[in-house]
Copies of this chain bind each other. A is one copy, B any other.
């Protein structure tokens, strides 16, 4: 076997990825992937802009890559050996596909003559990820000739381009390789014929803009801002909202809360007024971002017959309220900038009324005195540093943060809201923590257990991630659901206590640990160098506390 061809083509593959902006590579050890891993390591050693992470557990590796990609808004490349290793990527790929995160998956494979013929570590890897990837291609890195060389150079660049094209998502390159697998590390990378991409940013035409302007002018416009990780349109959305006095119902993951036109507590308000108070009802709804965490908001939206504008091309009309009546399938920042430039400054009672409700609701919240799953969020809101990053686990944490986080400081809130799994949360947060700044993870004990392997990356790379674990010994969310009525089987099937000793977990991964029982202790632990903070909770008490809070809000707001 000609290892010059292999070596040169692997260089082309990597050059192609790098040419299209890849800086991060997450590799899992294996034999079949040897030529790519070795040349990659060699190039990373020589290039200060490239970064290589090694993660033994491929499931964790894929979520780690997802964490880097979604928080830094960059394409990330994964590399693994053949067989079940490649299958381990699927959960993170499904998440990336739905949350539109650009990943490029390099799975090395046995060659054709060793596929489905009893050879070891050979599963069918062609189309392994089915509909969970945008595209799946194969590259033959050992085929000689200039045509194949050009194909490898082109296709590797194309894989990144497609991953980055709206809607962004994962792309799979399957790479069959024959032995011998050792490349020649003395061969220099060949020149790459690079591919330049000028992304189209559709602007509204004057006619389109004029129509939109007319339809929004003088209306009570309510903006609903769903989860959105890119920072492309946040500023202009706030400007538009302030200029036109249009209130924004901002999901916690929209990362807009804490500014004056933003309403944070709409989910609590909708529990008291499922149809909204009359004075808060809009004429027109303008949506940006993904599916809101608040199911109540979506249910409310589903009942509306008024015009609903959906701005943005990333999410392809994924609107399970089915309420959208008009799509503006263009880049959000561009459209919102055009609107801002064309709509007049205007005052409106409508914003004021929302602000009044919000203020009364916040004033009616119980004082933050005892530490529980709700006040924990409020305390984090007060204590976490400005500009820090908070990764939030699915299930209860994201719901509580959505309800109780006001956004006192500008922070980045992040969560896996494509498929909403509780798997891979620690690893994704670890991936987030590779970027500069201060990083926090809020997670329950079950999700922590599910992805405990992710802690290895935190330890190994000394990632500055502070982990706050709400330990209610099981699945807290089920106590809020109808399942709680099925008492005979509840703990077995839904509560599922794991009796995990979190102090031991922290010891195993060499993380400094503290259990906090009060808000003061929590504040102190957050201020100190503690990396792993345990907050004990009780699932039943937690439900009662949530119910008591709702009763309190009801009597304060509904009875007047």
Contact = CB atoms under 8 A, between A and B. Distances in A.
Given A90-B90, A123-B94, A291-B118, A54 B85 contact: no
B56 A450 contact: yes
A114 interface: yes
Contacts of A88: 59, 90-91, 423
A116 interface: yes
Interface in A113-157: 113-114, 116-124, 127-128, 130-132
A123 B421 CA distance: 10
Interface stretch (A36-44, A203-211, A228-236, A256-264): A36-44
Contacts of A389: none
A54 to B, nearest CB: 6
B452 A452 contact: yes
Interface string A436-479: 00000000001001101100100010000000000000010110
Contacts of A56: 446, 449-450, 496, 498
Contact of A132 (B124, B504, B507): B124
A290 interface: yes
A118 B319 contact: yes
Interface in A412-443: 417, 419-421, 423-424
Interface in A338-381: none
Interface stretch (A15-23, A212-220, A483-491, A544-552): A483-491
A306 interface: no
Query: How many copies of this protein are present in the complex?
Result: 2
A41 B492 contact: yes
Nearest to A322: B117
Given A121-B421, A124-B131, A182-B483, 19 more contacts: A31-B477, A38-B486, A41-B488, A52-B492, A56-B446, A56-B496, A57-B449, A59-B59, A83-B94, A85-B421, A87-B90, A117-B318, A117-B320, A119-B320, A120-B295, A127-B131, A130-B130, A180-B482, A449-B453
10 contacts: A37-B489, A56-B498, A84-B94, A87-B93, A98-B123, A122-B419, A124-B130, A181-B483, A182-B483, A449-B453
Interface of A: 27, 29, 31, 34, 37-38, 41-42, 45, 52, 54, 56-59, 83-85, 87-88, 90-91, 93-95, 97-98, 113-114, 116-124, 127-128, 130-132, 180-182, 185, 290-291, 295, 315, 318-320, 322, 417, 419-421, 423-424, 446, 449-450, 452-453, 456, 460, 475, 477-478, 481-483, 485-486, 488-489, 492-494, 496, 498, 500-501, 504-505, 507-508
